[in-house]
Structure 1
Amino acid sequence: MATCKFFALFFFFLFSLALSQQGSTVQSDGTVDCSNRWIHIRRLPTRFNLDLLANCSEYPLFGDFCPYLANHGLGQKTHNHSYSWYRTDNLMLELIFHRRMLEYPCLTEDPNFADAVYLPYYAALDALRYLYGPEYNSSAEHGLELFEFLQEDEPGIWKRHLGHDHFLVMARPAWDFSQPLGNEPPLWGTSFLELPEFFNVTTLTLESRAWPWQEQAIPYPTSFHPPNLALSDSWIQRVQKSRRSVMAMFAGGGGVSATPNIRRSIRIECENATGNSTISGGYVKLCEIIDCSNGICEHDPIRFMRPMLQASFCLQPPGETPTRRSTFDGILAGCIPVFFEDQSAKLQYGWHLPENDFESFAVFIPKEEVVFKGKKILDVLRRIPRSRVRRMREKILELIPRVLYRKHNSSHGLRAKKDAFDISIDGALKKIQSRLEEVALAQ
């Protein structure tokens, strides 16, 4: 514990140094068109971001997240000679995003000149004190301290558009910040997104709800963060050449109880398919399960990436919420996703995945038909023509650069390709511009 704390403070120092080197003004070098793209990073007291990193071991019920602070939130390398693979934790997306924002080419120190204002607030990390810390049962207060600061410190920045031009990143599903105000006794989560004070702010979350206009889901961070174009292209070539000897695979836990649910159906069908001697399509095996119970795969990508490289289809059933990080791990491995709910991806990641052409890269099988009507997943997949499977995989290869978060300080060649961060920024700017236009018309 003491060693983790030492390293956490060390990484805290490195990130503080990166922030201090931001300079008073960062502008385009002339090669980037910054029209309608200027962003002002709001300077917040460190209690809203960096101080939260120093408290990384103070939530025993949650766990110690100190080891995942390394490399500005990418986590520790999977092995000493790795240049692209890290033990990345989802909770670090806010830190990863903040670090990448410092490299954004169209930053302005003048908020009046900005088209959008980024709040470097680590909302998911700050939520821990309400969920596991000494302020448990006061979750309705999450965010009020931030709002008070925004009103008192240079209030003109907020009042110019009443927050409509502000955006932030939340490294948890929106449901974790959506506890109704005044719930007694408190349920799971905080009430940040239920506060009227923040209704105008665009929020980038790992999973959004269907109705709030201000929420937009962005990809979960995977463990792959290439620093240059050569390593990125090398991985895509490996994915393209990988032999798909397994038709379908599922990496995850659950499904062991007697209660009917999609994970139980998957487990039963997959286990019964083991040993089938008549397999079409050139597969050696119909179905494989990688047991990731109790979080054993969460920070160990080798456990699931190799099987995903060998599988044609990756089954992506919902868990506690509809979405999964495994969706993006599978895409990264060239494994065609099979969804059982529209909310798992089709209605979530419209900026990064082809929302209007979802069938070009994914398969959808309603979970109700599997769980209650006996539809066989493997039969559905077996009937898909090989020519279509080939086209879907080609589409997956095109999507890989769009769903990964490249490493900070990456090479210029890799920066020419937009990654998950770049696409998220583009989407946020368009969303804010559209909202400001609507507000102007309504006045």
Structure 2
Amino acid sequence: MSKFHVMLLVLVALLWNSGASEAEECEKRWIHIRKLPSSLNLDLLANCSEYPMLDDLCPFLANHGLGQKTHNHSHSWYRTDPSMLELIFHRRMLEYPCLTQDPLQANAIYLPYYAALDSLRYLYGPEYNSSAKHGLSLFHFLQSDNPQIWNRHMGHDHFLVMARPAWDFSQPLFNDPPVWGTSFLELPQFFNLTALTLESRAWPWQEHAVPYPTSFHPPNLGLFESWLNRVRRSKRSVLAIFAGGGGVSATPNIRRSIRSECENATTSSDSSYDTLCEIVDCSNGICEHDPIRFMRPMLSASFCLQPPGDTPTRRSTFDAILAGCIPVFFEELSAKAQYGWHLPESEFEEFSVFIPKEEVVFRGMRILDVLQRIPRTRVRRMREKVLELIPSVLYRKHNSSPGLKTKKDAVDLAIDGTLDKIRSRLRDLHLDFVM
């Protein structure tokens, strides 16, 4: 047998094994990206400056939704706005290794519909009084274009991403006068699909919360590990920090209690901290797209206070984890009942502190006293656990290096969780999950 024939046989064997390993790796993980009209996604980006009650969203479209770099020489840090999650997720889905062109082979169908961007015309634009129509154009398309894809499992195998809290899409259909939000998640047509939101409600089965995007999007393993080393080496000279706004009203609330306690805290001579509490004032959104304002202080603190605001969750929770700062929660809905795929509920006491806000606001419990009583050995263990969580809450840069892809990030875990959720749902309904 000639050398050429030997090489040909080796090449065929390699291709065969490659195909076999891909099929094995992708078993029960095939996803089909539904091709939607551009009016339901990319065309919506052209309206980025049309809403006078919002900041101009156009600068945040750069780098496929990551936003502009924080400075010219940055490789990992961007001025990311959470409202770009749909664009970020869509770009990453295009790199998913188990994509199929055949929707009948797929275990799940991804709808690249920019739901939150489309909702802006109902929330801030001229269609405010028509919010019950949000999403109907998507449903009409699914029913008119290859309807067998949707009808095969009546939408149970479909999922999408919504870059706002679920509350913003939960207005009852027949509210008169209408209140804040659209009615997308109240439409019976969409009761079966899975919605990945920045914050979910406690009861609907179809919603699941995914992390708010932070500003850190490393493109390779070296830059990720460099940041991890910096976090691990940081001197924690401050006991606790609160980065946020509010707390200035006369009405008793947790932010007011935090601000009062922090402003009046004094460090004793036997304290192991130079400062007990710091406030980074982020009023009026001044920190939102400037991570230097809050990341540097978070790197110097042991604990980061995460009080609820307009809704229970905060992007700051994930900024804190990224900085190796142990989050302190005051409501279970702030994280424990939200991000089970990314922050395992069974491990919460290993990486966070919970202090009921009622105990602080109405019964005089002092937050700093609680934190100072935690043994230093336990604080070190908690910080190590926080460091372990960093890969799971960041959104790595699209087209990142193979080495970094070995660490599952927020998108990877969201896909895994979605596939499990769909599989479980179809099993419960006694439907055959596509093999």
TM-score (norm 2): 0.94
Residue 138 of structure 2 aligns to a residue whose secondary structure is helix
Q: Tell me what 2:179 maps to.
A: 187
Residue 327 of structure 2 aligns to a residue whose secondary structure is strand
Deviation at 1:63, TM superposition (A): 2.5
Distance 2:387 2:29 in 1: 29
Whichever residue aligns with residue 430 of structure 1, its letter is: D
Distance 1:441 1:427 in 2: 19
What is the CA RMSD across the aligned residues, in angstroms? 1.3
- The farther-off stretch of 27-36 and 248-257 is 27-36
Match of 2:404 among 376, 389, 414: 414
Distance 1:229 1:169 in 2: 27
Q: Tell me what 1:283 maps to.
A: 273
Residue 372 of structure 1 aligns to a residue whose secondary structure is helix
- The farther-off stretch of 261-270 and 136-145 is 136-145
Q: Tell me what 2:228 maps to.
A: 236
Once the two structures are superposed, what CA deviation does each residue of 1:375-410 show, in whole Å capped at 9, x if it has no partner?
000000000000000000000010000000000000
Distance 2:369 2:110 in 1: 48
Deviation at 1:279, TM superposition (A): 5.1
Distance 1:156 1:32 in 2: 27
Alpha-carbon contact 2:246-2:256 (below 8 Å) kept: yes
Alpha-carbon contact 1:32-1:105 (below 8 Å) kept: no
Alpha-carbon contact 1:248-1:315 (below 8 Å) kept: yes
Whichever residue aligns with residue 177 of structure 1, its letter is: F
Distance 1:409 1:32 in 2: 24
Distance 1:329 1:62 in 2: 23
Match of 2:380 among 378, 390, 394: 390
Pairs within 5 Å for 1:11-410: 30=22, 33-273=25-265, 275-278=266-269, 280=271, 282-410=272-400
Alpha-carbon contact 1:130-1:137 (below 8 Å) kept: yes
Distance 1:265 1:141 in 2: 41
Alpha-carbon contact 2:115-2:162 (below 8 Å) kept: yes
* Identity across the alignment (%): 78
Larger-Rg structure: 2
Deviation at 1:136, TM superposition (A): 1.2
Alpha-carbon contact 2:267-2:274 (below 8 Å) kept: no
Q: Tell me what 1:22 maps to.
A: none
Residue 239 of structure 1 aligns to a residue whose secondary structure is helix
Deviation at 1:133, TM superposition (A): 1.1
Residue 273 of structure 2 aligns to a residue whose secondary structure is coil
Describe the shift of the 1:405–1:279 C-alpha distance in structure 2 as closer, same or farther (beyond 3 A).
Answer: farther
Unaligned 5+ runs, structure 2: 1-18
Distance 2:369 2:324 in 1: 21
Alpha-carbon contact 1:78-1:87 (below 8 Å) kept: yes
Deviation at 1:441, TM superposition (A): 6.3
Whichever residue aligns with residue 329 of structure 2, its letter is: F
Runs of 4+ aligned structure 1 residues displaced above 4 Å come to: none
Distance 1:82 1:184 in 2: 49
Deviation at 1:145, TM superposition (A): 1.0
Residue 288 of structure 1 aligns to a residue whose secondary structure is strand
Distance 1:159 1:96 in 2: 28
Residue 391 of structure 2 aligns to a residue whose secondary structure is helix
